[in-house]
Each structure stands twice: as C-alpha cells, then as structure tokens.
Amino acid sequence: MTGSCAAPIPFGTLVGYWFAELAADAEQRVEEHFLGCAHCSARLEALAALHQGIRASFENGAIHAVISAPFLATMKERGMRLREYPVAPGGSVHCTISASDDAVIGRLKAPLAGLARVDMVVTDEADTLLFQLEDVPFDPAAGEVLFCPAAAALKQMPAHTEKVRLLAVEDAGERAIGDYTFFHTPG
C-alpha cells in the first residue's frame, strides 16, 4: 500500500523523533526522509496511533502504570480527580477508590539514589503474582515511585490486600528496596 523503503528509518530513531528526543540535525534528516518516503511516513503514523491507544487505555483506567512526576503534574493540571497514598518502605495503607475518582496513586517511598533500574512486583495476600512492571520510571532524587493501578479494574474489586515490592536490578542481581501493603476497601 505504501511501497517499500531501501533504507528505512530505524525503529529507535522513529521513536526518538516521535518523542522529540533527536538532535536537531538528526531530526532534520528524518523529516527530509519522511517527505520522500510514504513507507516510513506510514510507520510514523502507526507509531502515533499506538501511542494514542496506550494513552487512551491509560486514561480509561485499563492499564497498570508507573508514572513520572511530570506526568502526575499533568494529570492534576487537567483536573483529573486523584487520591494519593504515600507509603514508607515496610509500611501499609488503607485505600479506596470511588466511582467519581479518575485514578489512585501509590507514592512508594524508597532509597533510589544511584539506582539504574527498578522493577515492581505486585502480589496478592497469598504471594500469588498478579503482575510485574519492569524498568519503571523514577526520579532518584525524589525518593519515590508513583504507582497508578488500573482504575477501572480497581473500581470493580471487593475488599482485598495487595502487596507491592520494589526491586533494584543491578549487575549483582535483584534486591528488594521496599515492601508496601495496600488494604483496599471499595468506595
């Protein structure tokens, strides 16, 4: 439908372009390529559609996510109704979500300085794995990871307990840097 391309823009470069992360000269080269290449232009459109889809899923509360502080600030600026629960390592919190809430944010305090990668593991009360998020975004200086569970699913849940563990992933292996327990009751 869109022909082919003898020298397609590498996917990583495409992503970098979409997030406006390329250096000015690289960005200009990519733009010149798009002008003459329907194939790569279509690939960029597909990437944009994927991004929109992920964002829509997130805003509909369909996916679990760890978000950045700027993203949280954007959610607030846009008037989303949020509940925030700060929890210290080893701590627990009683939490809820009401029908009119858009999202809940677990502010997981943790010693993050010097870490390159953090994973998050979520289990139920019996330590059965519910889901895992790898290489989550975090600001080492902020000392917290912002966990935003899928709001739509959470609104359907009865009273239950969820256990969250943060893992530092290093050359030597993984080590737990914080455990957090959420005692959830329906709103």
Based on CB atoms, which residue is closest to Zn ion, 4 or 100?
4
Give min distance, CB of 36 to Zn ion, in A: 8
Give min distance, CB of 14 to Zn ion, in A: 10
Residue found by looking up tokens 């846009």 in the block: 78
CA distance 179 to 115: 17
Give min distance, CB of 25 to Zn ion, in A: 18
In residues, how long is the chain?
A: 187
Give min distance, CB of 30 to Zn ion, in A: 10
Based on CB atoms, which residue is closest to Zn ion, 38 or 73?
38
What are phi and psi for residue 20, nearest 5 degrees? 55, 45
The helix/strand/coil state of 100 is coil
Based on CB atoms, which residue is closest to Zn ion, 36 or 158?
36
Based on CB atoms, which residue is closest to Zn ion, 37 or 167?
37
The helix/strand/coil state of 103 is strand
Q: Is the dihedral of CA 171, 174, 176, 181 positive or negative?
A: positive
Based on CB atoms, which residue is closest to Zn ion, 13 or 136?
13
Q: Which residues bind Zn ion (CB under 5 A)?
A: 5, 8, 37, 39-40
Identify each DSSP E strand in the chain by its residue range: 65-67, 82-87, 92-95, 103-109, 118-124, 129-133, 144-148, 160-170, 173-184
Give min distance, CB of 113 to Zn ion, in A: 43
